[in-house]
Amino acid sequence: MIEIRNLVKKYSGKTILGGINLDIKDGEIFSLLGPSGTGKSTFLKSIIGLVKPDGGSIKIDGADITKTFGEFEIQKIRKNFGYLFQEGALFDSLNVWENVAFGLRYLTDIKESEYLKTAGEKLELVGLKNSENLKISELSGGMKKRVALARAIAANPKYLLYDEPTTGLDPVTAETVSELIKEMSKKLKVTSISVTHDVKLALEISDRIALLNEGGFACLGTPEEIKNSKNGIVKEFIENSICRK
C-alpha cells in the first residue's frame, strides 16, 4: 500500500502541503477534494516522484521514493502506476491504438507485434471496442477520456491516478467517467487515487475522501461522514460546490 508520513512541499516559501499523513489501502478508491491551487496535483505528482517533497516520506509497497534513487529504480516503481492526466495528453499525430500502446515499449516486455491486440483489449474494457484505427480528431471529449484511460491501464498497473478526471466534461459524460473509474477498480483490482474539485464525483466513487485545506486535511472519512460533517470548512465547500452545479 501507499504510506505517507509528514509530507511537506513548499513553493517560493509558501507551504502547499504541510505535514500530510495518510495510508492508502490496497484496492480502495481514495479521493482528495479541494479548490484549484490548493496542492492536489502536487500531492498526486509527489506520489510518483514527479515532484520532490521538502520533507517527509512516501512509501510505495515499502519503498520510500523520497530517498535518493537512481533513474532505474524510480522507473521500476513508476511501472506500477497508470496516470490519467487532466487534459488527456493524447497525441493527435497518432491514431487511437497507437496512443494506447505508446508506453508499452518502456513499461512492459510485451512484443511489439502484440501492441495492437493489447490496445484493442484495453479499449474494449473502457467501452471503445473496434475503435483502434480512429483518429484523435474524430473523438468526442468523452471518447478521448476513455482512450486516455485505456492508455493508463495498458501496462496493467497496480495503482491508477486520476488528475481532475471530469474537468471540462458535460454532466452526462462526467457521470460516464465516474462509472468507468468504479468499473476499473472492480475489474482490474487496482488501487485508485483521484484528485478533484468535483464533489459529486468524489461522493459517488470513493471509499474514503479527504478535503485539502491550507496544506492539511480539513477532514478525512467515508462519503457518508463527509456529507454529514459538522466541520464548517467542509460544509461550506460542499454547499458551494453543489450550488455551482
Q: What was the pLDDT predicted at 242?
A: 52
pTM over 0.85: yes
Residue 63 has which C-alpha cell?
Answer: 519503498
Residue 79 has which C-alpha cell?
Answer: 511501472
Nearest to 101 by CA among 116, 82, 88, 81: 116
> CATH assignment of 2-244?
3.40.50.300
Q: How far is CA 152 from CA 14, 129, 156, in A?
A: 32, 17, 8
Exposure b/e, 81-90, CB count within 10 A at least 16 = b: bbbbbbebeb
Q: How far is CA 221 from CA 31, 33, 191, in A?
A: 10, 12, 17
Going residue by residue through the chain (245 aa), what tens digit of pLDDT does each one get? 899 999 999 998 899 999 999 999 999 999 999 887 888 989 999 998 888 999 999 999 988 988 866 777 778 888 899 998 877 689 999 999 999 999 898 888 899 999 999 999 999 999 999 999 999 999 988 899 899 999 999 999 999 999 999 888 888 888 988 999 999 999 899 999 999 989 999 999 999 999 999 899 999 999 999 988 888 888 888 877 654 44
